[in-house]
Chains A and B, each alone.
Chain A
Amino acid sequence: MNRLKIRWIIFAGLALVIIISYIIRIDLDTKPSPLVQKSYDYIESLPESTVVMFCFDHEASSLPEIKPIALAMLRHAIRKNLKIIGLSTFAEGTAIGYMLMTKTAQEYGREYGRDYVFLGFRPQHISVFLAMGESISHAFPLDYLGNRVDTIPMMRAVDNYDDIDMVISIADGDRTTQWVEYAGARYHQKIMGGITSAMITSYDPYLASGQLYSVVGGLVGAAEYEILLGTRAAGNRGILAQTSAHIYVIAMIIIGNIVYFRMRKGRG
């Protein structure tokens, strides 16, 4: 069998496994990991009206993984009646962030300007992180909708990081690290991450050193968070497909190795 045909069979098999396991609805017994539990417990412990900041530090390409994490954490924060400030350090994340925040706020009947605000995007993210340590309304004179930030009711009580309890960086790259390095190290701002699976190992040193409070990682993290919230949404819908895909990939690696060693033995 030629190489192209083998590749085709492997890809087609993977697609088939994912489609079938996505159509079948089985609720897996997902147990929250300590980090997801820590993230959930922290937001749960915050009193009403505490201000938290959600930063959508991602591009559209990572949306399938980012969206379930962001929705789970936003739902929790809005359900707890926390005040939310949203912003983005990526141009592409701006519209996504606004859409997710508005959608979640509408689910719970929250009001723009009183319960949540979306500041939008500003380029040169490091200068934004530093500028917000001095004054948020100076860093963002206008919000995403063009309102003056200092006239928005919710923002009257918020000047800089001193008035924000936690920054939750929903990221697909190393932006969360820069939050730690600039807002965390300089202004002692508490940082939490909602990150893609590919980035989890990059954040381990920051978690171990305590610079990063906690993370919710990947589709699995979203599924675990949903379990804690008591709602089975996108994270849990995809978890069976992901588990099946992993088993399929492992099986292919084992088969590939057996074939390889047999061929090598055959050649002498």
Chain B
Amino acid sequence: MGVLIAGILTLAIYSFLYRDNPFYRAAESWLIGLSIGYILVINWQKAVVGLLLVPLFQDGHLWLIIPLVLGLLMFSRFTGKSSWLSRIPIAFMIGTGAGVAIPAMLYARTLKQMSATVMPLWDEGGFNFEALVVMIGLIATLAYFYFSREHKGPMGKLAKLGTYFLMIFFGATFGYTVMSRMSTFIGRIDFLLTDFLHILS
């Protein structure tokens, strides 16, 4: 039964290729409704029940009253007079989030990435062509994003070279994205031909 429903819904989704139609819209609504329902149930069971209600009321971890109160304060947004109380958990979330994220981002995304772009032009294997390409690409791309000076003369030429590097990146990304969409389509064809229609074993 599940395979039958999945097959019909797959065909309903692909019917959009013809034009927007009620079958497509019904399938799309089902997908969104089911996804949200599933996510809500899982979150309720795993987060609220599993991490808060059971440890607090069954196991007696009384310190969990603090996150419970903070969580409940979020709902003060719906009241007029006491809506300011929601700023307390929001401030807590932003503060802890920033505290956790800033050192991690600074190290992993900035410092580590900067050090990775600095490569020796000559190493044990001789001249490092990759390092040269990275160096030119990096300087040219940064020149393109440097807007404090007009892109004229040598600066303009460097910035233009930067656009070529960017275009290569965007081209590669687009190519891979097409590849990914094709894979998804192939996966659905596989399902339709094997599980749904039993044409292939």
Tell me the smallest distance from the CB of A191 to a CB of chain B, in Å. Answer: 11
* Contact pick for B176, options A67, A91, A198, CB 8 Å: A198
Taking CB atoms, residues of chain A closer than 8 Å to B185 are: 18, 64, 245
The reply on B28 being an interface residue by CB < 8 A is no
Taking CB atoms, residues of chain A closer than 8 Å to B104 are: 181-182, 185-186
For the complex, what is the distance from the CA of A126 to the CA of B185, rounded to whole Å? 32
Tell me the smallest distance from the CB of A17 to a CB of chain B, in Å. Answer: 10
- Whether the Cβ atoms of B176 and A122 lie closer than 8 Å is no
For the complex, what is the distance from the CA of A64 to the CA of B189, rounded to whole Å? 10
- Whether the Cβ atoms of B189 and A120 lie closer than 8 Å is no
Given contacts A63-B187, A122-B51, A218-B180, contact A91 B43 (CB under 8 A): yes
Tell me the smallest distance from the CB of B176 to a CB of chain A, in Å. Answer: 5
- Whether the Cβ atoms of B183 and A218 lie closer than 8 Å is yes
Taking CB atoms, residues of chain B closer than 8 Å to A92 are: 35, 38-39
Taking CB atoms, residues of chain B closer than 8 Å to A242 are: 179, 182-183, 186
Tell me the smallest distance from the CB of A64 to a CB of chain B, in Å. Answer: 2
Digitize B16-42: 1 where CB-to-A-CB distance is under 8 Å, 0 elsewhere: 011000000000000000010011001
- Whether the Cβ atoms of A65 and B187 lie closer than 8 Å is yes
Closest to B182 in A: A245
- Whether the Cβ atoms of A64 and B176 lie closer than 8 Å is no
Tell me the smallest distance from the CB of A180 to a CB of chain B, in Å. Answer: 6
- Whether the Cβ atoms of B47 and A19 lie closer than 8 Å is no
For the complex, what is the distance from the CA of A130 to the CA of B101, rounded to whole Å? 11
The number of residues on chain A lying at the interface, defined by a beta carbon within 8 Å of a beta carbon of chain B, is: 57
Taking CB atoms, residues of chain A closer than 8 Å to B200 are: 22-23
- Whether the Cβ atoms of B100 and A211 lie closer than 8 Å is no
Given contacts A181-B108, A208-B116, contact A241 B186 (CB under 8 A): yes
The number of residues on chain B lying at the interface, defined by a beta carbon within 8 Å of a beta carbon of chain A, is: 45
Tell me the smallest distance from the CB of A103 to a CB of chain B, in Å. Answer: 15
Closest to B192 in A: A19
The reply on B83 being an interface residue by CB < 8 A is no
Given contacts A121-B46, A209-B112, A211-B108, contact A198 B180 (CB under 8 A): yes
For the complex, what is the distance from the CA of A11 to the CA of B116, rounded to whole Å? 43
Most buried by B among A8, A11, A15, A198: A198
- Whether the Cβ atoms of A91 and B39 lie closer than 8 Å is yes
- Whether the Cβ atoms of B189 and A19 lie closer than 8 Å is yes
For the complex, what is the distance from the CA of A218 to the CA of B116, rounded to whole Å? 25
For the complex, what is the distance from the CA of A238 to the CA of B190, rounded to whole Å? 8
Closest to A242 in B: B182
The reply on B146 being an interface residue by CB < 8 A is no
- Whether the Cβ atoms of A121 and B187 lie closer than 8 Å is no
For the complex, what is the distance from the CA of A142 to the CA of B45, rounded to whole Å? 12
Tell me the smallest distance from the CB of B5 to a CB of chain A, in Å. Answer: 14
The reply on A190 being an interface residue by CB < 8 A is no
For the complex, what is the distance from the CA of A109 to the CA of B22, rounded to whole Å? 47
For the complex, what is the distance from the CA of A126 to the CA of B193, rounded to whole Å? 40
- Whether the Cβ atoms of A64 and B112 lie closer than 8 Å is no
For the complex, what is the distance from the CA of A217 to the CA of B104, rounded to whole Å? 25
- Whether the Cβ atoms of B179 and A64 lie closer than 8 Å is no
Tell me the smallest distance from the CB of A31 to a CB of chain B, in Å. Answer: 17
Tell me the smallest distance from the CB of B30 to a CB of chain A, in Å. Answer: 13
- Whether the Cβ atoms of A121 and B42 lie closer than 8 Å is yes
Taking CB atoms, residues of chain A closer than 8 Å to B109 are: 181
For the complex, what is the distance from the CA of A201 to the CA of B186, rounded to whole Å? 22
Tell me the smallest distance from the CB of A11 to a CB of chain B, in Å. Answer: 5
Digitize B173-201: 1 where CB-to-A-CB distance is under 8 Å, 0 elsewhere: 10011111111111111110100000110
For the complex, what is the distance from the CA of A184 to the CA of B107, rounded to whole Å? 11
The reply on A210 being an interface residue by CB < 8 A is yes
Interface of B toward A, CB cutoff 8 Å? 17-18, 35, 38-39, 42-43, 46-47, 50-51, 55, 100-101, 104-105, 107-109, 112-113, 115-116, 169, 172-173, 176-191, 193, 199-200
List the 3 shortest-distance A-B pairs measured between CB atoms, nearest first. Answer: A64-B187, A209-B116, A198-B180
Would you give 18 A-B contacts (Cβ < 8 Å), ordered by A? A18-B186, A22-B200, A23-B200, A62-B184, A64-B188, A91-B43, A120-B46, A123-B47, A126-B101, A141-B55, A181-B104, A181-B108, A186-B104, A198-B173, A201-B169, A205-B116, A218-B179, A241-B189
User: A22-B200, A64-B190 provided; 4 other pairs, C-beta below 8 A?
Assistant: A141-B55, A197-B176, A209-B112, A249-B182
